[in-house]
Amino acid sequence: MNIKISESGPILISDGCVIDYQGRTIEKEGMVALCRCGHSSNKPFCDGMHRKIGFDTKENPIKPED
């Protein structure tokens, strides 16, 4: 499995994954794109809304937990 955090876009996971989301287990094969902007209508998956809302990781960087 390969995980890539794309700049101003989704988290990309290659080769599929198993996700526990809101108490349900979702199994996916192949490339998986997870939403980072919080505006997808298909959460936890990306639907491209980050482009429409202008999501910019330079303005909203991922910060490590304190």
For every residue of 24-47, which 3-state class applies, written as one string?
EEEEECCCEEECCCCCCCCCCECC
The pLDDT of residue 21 is 95
The pLDDT of residue 66 is 42
The pLDDT of residue 60 is 60
Q: Which domains does the chain have, with CATH numbers?
A: 3-53 (3.40.5)
Interval 7-65: pLDDT, tens:
999 999 999 999 999 999 999 999 999 999 999 999 999 999 999 999 998 866 665 55
